[in-house]
Chains A and B, each alone.
Chain A
Amino acid sequence: MFKKRNTKNTAVTVTLDHREVSLPGDASVAAGLLGQGEILSRISPASGEPRSPHCLMGVCCECMMEIDGVKRQACMTSPKAGMVINRGLNGEEINNPADTDELNSKLNEENPK
């Protein structure tokens, strides 16, 4: 959906939905994900529909994703090394205590610290 011009960005490694991805260090998480073709930002809790970022300026809240455990606006967040991002796109419940332990152990398995 987007093509990127070459810039002297420093890349930052984050975990997106349990896999490692590299995001440009000087753009927001939302912009970085869009630049990689990751269009969807979340499943809307009220409707169950997939959503993508809409305003890219902190107004619409469509880019809310779980970032290091708390849902934040991805367009207002800068990527940091080791950041853990979960979009909940496959219906796995984020912010659910029953799943969190499972997710944590899964993450530790995949990315032993």
Chain B
Amino acid sequence: MKTADIVVVGGGISGAATALGLVRRGAGKVMLLDAQLPSQRLSRGNFGLTWFMCKGAGNPSYARWSRRAAGEWPEFAASLEENTGYDVELDWTGGAIHAFGQEDWDGFADGVTSLTKQCEEHGLDYPVKMLNRAEFADLMPKIELGEEISGGMYTAEQGHVNPLRLLGAVRADFQKNGGEYYADAMVREVSHKPNGTVEVKTAKETWSCNKLVIAAGHGSSRLTAALGETLNTFPQRGQLMVTERCPRVLDISLLCLRQTQDGTFMIGLSTENTAMDTRITAEQMKSQAQNAIRIFPMLANLNWVRGWGAIRVMSPDGGPIYSRVNGHDNVFVIAQHSGISLAPLQTSVIAPWILGEKQDEQIPEFSNCRFQEK
């Protein structure tokens, strides 16, 4: 039996960024257990936006949380590069959502107005504005805009990143700070011992720890259920496409389309209920290609190189879940989609909460129990 101060189950971005926060704060011996399952790597399916815009309509807590996360991104990326040499390719170039035609535009304008108001009511700014077509085109001078685009919404205070490099960087930084990472550790069982420690069993080892953090994507609900709590998440598929490389002409990200620093265009915006099926569909690929060409006609002649699906960890209100498991004060669960956007807060806010150093006032807003009341 091995011992640790804290075991984090799940080596995707949520678990890894949390674990990084723990070791940066000198949490003692921290283990990060990862199964690297071929099917469930949600972190590998993320689009790469580091956004707050449009998040949390009707959910002021989430709007605020997203805004805070976006704001911490530049420093988060810089610290990772400084510590590990990994360039996570953060482009802090703003973000925009295009409107087709006047009706779309008006709808967006209403949305911006209402979210701005909602944020104001909660003491938060929402630096998003509506742009007409000419202003929108000015954001992306090197690429021709589709003729139906009437303008759209825009903010300067967000960006996009390489989510895959990010994962490498976070885990590298974690290990540099003394964390131990096990990539082939499938956790089968967790149980609470009478002396208050938690026992974690994998195929090869048993660990005993003082605190347990469950951040295992779709594998989390099985573990929380064993401790008597139902995790309120459900699977929701998103499909993505990527093109071949092309000289860089677009550095600002759109909601469903961005050009990476490698020059490939990533395209994706779909939500489907397919349980755990990650396959892509011809219908969605066709639809996304049509949409992309409508936005930027030049994409028509680029080759589509890969399509893939990933299964989001979705909650009933779309916000994250940060909870202590009922009756197990030293067991924590983290469940969220948009883990990339929210990564900085795992390190700066969630980690100190787990350590008992500081409970941020927003954390209770994301309890797993909030759904039961309704």
Within the complex, are A and B direct neighbours (CB within 8 Å)? yes
Instruction: List, in ascending order, chain B residues with CB within 8 A of A93's CB.
Output: 247
Q: Is B244 in the interface zone, CB < 8 Å from A?
A: yes
Asked if residues A71 and B142 are in contact (CB atoms below 8 Å), the reply is no
A91 to chain B, nearest CB (A): 10
Interface range for B: 10 to 19
Pair B142/A98 contact, Cβ less than 8 Å: yes
Residue B168 is within 8 A (CB to CB) of chain A in the complex: no
Residues from chain B with a CB closer than 8 A to the CB of A50 are none
Encoded as 1 (CB less than 8 Å from any B CB) or 0, chain A from 17 to 45 comes to 00000000000000000000000000001
Bound Cα distance from A100 to B142, whole angstroms: 12
Q: A70-B301, A96-B247, A97-B249 are in contact. Are A45 and B263 (CB under 8 A)?
A: yes
The size of the chain A interface, using a CB distance under 8 A, is: 11
CA distance A100 to B299 in the complex (A): 13
Task: List residues of chain B with CB within 8 A of the CB of A97.
Answer: 142-144, 249, 298
B301 touches A95 (CB 8 A): yes
Provide the bound-state CA to CA distance between A55 and B143, in Å: 35
Min Cβ gap B297→A in Å is 8
- Chain B residues with Cβ under 8 A from A100's Cβ? 298
Q: A46-B245, A93-B247, A96-B249 are in contact. Are A71 and B303 (CB under 8 A)?
A: yes
Query: Would B301 and A69 count as touching, CB distance under 8 A?
Result: yes
Determine the main DSSP class of B at the interface with A.
loop
Q: Does B302 contact A (CB under 8 A)?
A: yes
Contact mask for chain B residues 76-92; partner A; CB cutoff 8 A; 1 contact, 0 none: 00000000000000000
Taking the nearest CB of chain B, how far is it from the CB of A11, in angstroms? Answer: 28
Are A96 and B246 within 8 A (Cβ)? yes
Report Cα–Cα, A97/B301, bound state, in Å: 10
The digit string for A45-76, where 1 denotes a CB below 8 A from any CB of B, is 11000000000000000000000011100000
Q: Which of A46, A71, A93, A95 has the most CB of B within 10 A?
A: A95
Per-residue CB contact flags for chain B residues 262-293 toward chain A (1 = under 8 Å, else 0) read: 11000000000000000000000000000000
Chain A residues with CB below 8 A from B302, complex form = 70, 95
Instruction: Give the residues from 216 to 264 in chain B that come closer than 8 angstroms, CB to CB, to chain A.
Output: 244-247, 249, 262-263
CB-defined contacts of B262 to chain A, threshold 8 Å: 46
Output the least CB separation between B248 and chain A (Å).
10
The interface bits of chain B over 143-158 (1 if a CB of A lies within 8 angstroms of the residue's CB, else 0) are 1100000000000000
A100 to B247, CA, bound (A): 13
Task: Given A97-B143, A97-B144, answer yes or no on A45-B301 (Cβ-Cβ < 8 Å).
Answer: no
B245 contacts A45, C-beta separation under 8 Å: yes
Inside 8 A of B303's CB, which chain A residues have their CB? 70-71
Q: How far is the CA of A96 from the CA of B244 in the complex (A)?
A: 13
Per-residue 0/1 for A85-107: is the Cβ within 8 Å of any B Cβ (1 yes, 0 no)? Answer: 00000000101111010000000
Shortest C-beta distance, A39 to chain B (Å), equals 23
Q: Give the contacting residue for A95; candidates B142, B144, B247; CB below 8 A.
A: B247
| Chain A nearest CB, measured from B177 CB (Å) | 32
Q: What residues of A have a CB within 8 angstroms of the CB of B144 in the complex?
A: 97
**How far apart are the CA atoms of A23 and B128 in the complex, in Å?**
56
Q: Which residues in B have their C-beta under 8 angstroms from that of A96?
A: 246-247, 249
Q: List 5 A-B contacts (CB under 8 A).
A: A69-B301, A95-B298, A96-B247, A97-B143, A98-B142
Beyond the given pairs A45-B245, A71-B244, A97-B143, 10 more chain A to chain B contacts, judged by CB atoms under 8 angstroms and listed by A's residue number, are A45-B263, A70-B303, A95-B298, A95-B302, A96-B247, A97-B144, A97-B249, A97-B298, A98-B142, A98-B249
Task: Write the residues of chain A forming the contact surface with B, with a CB cutoff of 8 angstroms.
Answer: 45-46, 69-71, 93, 95-98, 100
| Cβ-closest 8 pairs across A and B | A45-B245, A97-B298, A93-B247, A69-B301, A70-B301, A95-B246, A96-B247, A97-B144
